[in-house]
Chains A and B, each alone.
Chain A
Amino acid sequence: MTPEPPGPLESEPERLLDGLDPEDLDGHTIEELGDYLDDGREPRDPGIEDSPGCQIALDALVRLRAESWAMLEVEALADRDRDQSWIQNVIANISRESRPGRDIPVRHPDPATRLHITEGAVRGLVRAAGDGTQGSLVGRVELAGDVTVPAQPITVTVTASVPFGPNLVVLAQLVRERIVEALRTHTELNVIAVNVAIENVHAPGTAKDGR
């Protein structure tokens, strides 16, 4: 008897997503990156390891797997359609946000020395700051405003899934504070607001218990 192919929830989370443009990740799909993680990043693939976009995406996928996938998988058993859709969006966002995007300037006293941080690197930083905050998982990161011009007002908007239980206002504030601190440390952006929108609530404590 031929075993049935695994359903979407038995496979790796990134397999839920199809149709992404490989150009998003320097010629690699997010599914390829998932396979690469499965293989322990061996043999070393220079096309992946030498791509900043792939590195940002791999960081996010590792956190998704280590901290949140089991949690969301368990939750999805109760509301499969809703959570699959949410996870698909997270993975699509990881792929999209890992692209370099705009160049964000950093000051230098010599005008012949031009310094930048890519928007993709900053989105990855924001995602890392929010992921795992008392079981939270960042869904989407947006930087609104002209980040290419110094001192322009920038608004950061983050969506998140959080565990059921903690006070949502307090938890959202904690996520916000971590993001503000990361941006203050690593960028010179004039961030006038960080908005955290909680758009999904999942079962608490299952991330570690589920594996």
Chain B
Amino acid sequence: MTDDVELSRRLTGVVSDLPGVTGVYPVGTLVRSIARGLVDAALDEGAADARVAVTRDPGGVLSLAATIGVEAGRPVPEVLRTVGDAMRDAVASTEPAAPPPVIDVRASHIDTRSAGA
């Protein structure tokens, strides 16, 4: 499990650094939990930068899910495809023997403040 947290943290960093990505959001349920103050652990510094959801099925297949913000200066589909490819490459370099992961990337906010929509 610790390995998966570390993988999530690494993927969060990879995605955050990509052009056009304004941020990586925690999963929705986590946000609501934080807002309600119900999950103190969610605010632990150790997990705050691990925002890509990482799960494994019994066969060891990874499922990765990231929710991102995108700047309007770049086409959102282009950014989404770049993020998906970068996550796949990052897993391949980390776990070269693992089966290909299932990747889900969702753009939940398009930032129009710094560029024309």
* A52 contacts the other chain (CB 8 A): yes
In the complex, are the beta carbons of B36 and A52 less than 8 A apart? no
**B42 to chain A: closest CB distance in Å?**
9
In the complex, are the beta carbons of A125 and B102 less than 8 A apart? no
Cα of A116 to Cα of B88 in the assembled complex, Å: 17
**Would you give the 0/1 interface string for B58-70, flagging 1 where the beta carbon is closer than 8 Å to chain A?**
0000000001010
**A180 to chain B: closest CB distance in Å?**
11
* A171 contacts the other chain (CB 8 A): no
Cα of A121 to Cα of B107 in the assembled complex, Å: 7
A residues less than 8 Å from B21 (CB atoms):
none
In the complex, are the beta carbons of B81 and A118 less than 8 A apart? no
B residues less than 8 Å from A115 (CB atoms):
77, 80-81, 84, 104-106
Number of interface residues of A (CB under 8 A): 40
Chain B interface size, as a band, is 35 or more
A residues less than 8 Å from B34 (CB atoms):
46-47, 50
B residues less than 8 Å from A62 (CB atoms):
113
Q: With A52-B67, A185-B75 as given contacts, are A120 and B108 in contact (CB-CB < 8 Å)? A: yes
- A residues at B contact (CB < 8 Å): 23, 26-28, 46-47, 50-53, 55-56, 59, 62, 100, 103, 106-108, 110, 112-118, 120-122, 124-125, 128-129, 178, 182, 185-188
Interface residues of B in 33-79 (CB under 8 A from A): 34-36, 43, 67, 69, 72, 75-77
The B contact surface, by secondary structure, is: mixed
Give the residue of B32, B72, B75 whose beta carbon is less than 8 angstroms from that of A27. B32
Interface residues of B in 65-117 (CB under 8 A from A): 67, 69, 72, 75-77, 80-81, 84-85, 88, 100-113, 117
Q: Count contacts between A and B, CB distance < 8 Å.
A: 117
In the complex, are the beta carbons of A50 and B105 less than 8 A apart? no
- B residues at A contact (CB < 8 Å): 25-26, 28, 31-32, 34-36, 43, 67, 69, 72, 75-77, 80-81, 84-85, 88, 100-113, 117
A residues less than 8 Å from B80 (CB atoms):
106, 108, 115-117
In the complex, are the beta carbons of A28 and B35 less than 8 A apart? yes
Cα of A187 to Cα of B78 in the assembled complex, Å: 10
In the complex, are the beta carbons of A128 and B106 less than 8 A apart? no
Cα of A39 to Cα of B69 in the assembled complex, Å: 23
B residues less than 8 Å from A116 (CB atoms):
80, 104-107
In the complex, are the beta carbons of A100 and B36 less than 8 A apart? no
In the complex, are the beta carbons of B77 and A112 less than 8 A apart? no
A residues less than 8 Å from B112 (CB atoms):
59, 124-125, 128-129
